[in-house]
Structure 1
Amino acid sequence: MFAPASTLPADKPALYETLASQARAMLEGESDVIANAANFSSLVFNSLEGLNWAGFYFFDGKELVVGPFQGKPACVRIGLGKGVCGTAAQTRETQVVRDVNAFAGHIACDSASQSEIVVPLVAPDDTLIGVWDVDSPLIARFDDEDAKGMEALCRAFVEFGWKTAARKGD
């Protein structure tokens, strides 16, 4: 069902479109948000080169709390406006950080991380769900093409992985 990383397109837009398609197929019809988040994290972590962490922080109404992820143990709670994740959640804007050491207030959960991209997750009713966070041990691993691709992946997660689970209680 899912292509091995070695057979994925090298072109970033094509790569992200392939991953978004795989994510939609994987998430569609599954109503458990934890299962969806776990599989989504695994898909991205095992498909993209140069990552050391990929996962979710969900907003509990007060702060971001770590959710399913791939990588080393992570910080459990992050306040809004704190670090890259808290900034993305507060501003609701994707944060592409080429060098985390140059980001004032960066929270170093893993000292090996050198660059980071964080996409805010917002429900169709404009409610903050949380953030999608991806780290790399490489400086400047992420660029504008990655931002567009990660945002497309996150739209697929919100539509198929979150919205389906949210409708479960309807």
Structure 2
Amino acid sequence: MMVQAVEEVEDHVLTTSNDPLPSGEDRMQLKELMVLCINLSNKVLDLKNEVIEMKSSHKAKIAELESRVKKLEEENRSLTKELKSFNTRVESLIILDMAHEKIVLSMQDVTNANGKAVTKEMVKVITSAKIIVDEVNTACGVLNAANEEPVSAAPTNITTAQPSEATMTT
């Protein structure tokens, strides 16, 4: 047994090459691993470049949107200023209109302090006058219709006959 062990040890003595498999299969695996490693490193570099491009495009979009926001805020400020000035003009017109109403009522010698009641009364008088005018116009229309002669609804046929030479009257 001892002799056999020595012979087995001699069969498995390492050779001078670094390839543990004498068939060279490790060389193929090493080349495949190197190609795979190169491909993966290239993909990593490509992804890094894409991330850099995305960041720069996002920064550009953000800058564009920020400038747009600033423009809209400025426009909003100017519109609020215009709205405030418009409101002040409307308020001044309302004040002038109320002053004009007082002047008109004072010109009509209205001593009533409550001008709105007077205007309501004036509106009632005007509407009643319009109603009276409408009734008079309707009554006049009925009277005029009574004076007219009735027209028959039946159609009247008118025929024209040409005298014939063959007819003689005796």
Instruction: Say whether the fold is shared (TM-score over 0.5).
Output: no
Q: Provide the TM-score with structure 1 as the length reference.
A: 0.17
Return the structure number with greater helix share: 2
Q: Provide the TM-score with structure 2 as the length reference.
A: 0.17
Bigger Rg, structure 1 or 2: 2
Q: Which has the higher contact order (CA 8 A, sep 6+)?
A: 1
Return the structure number with greater strand share: 1
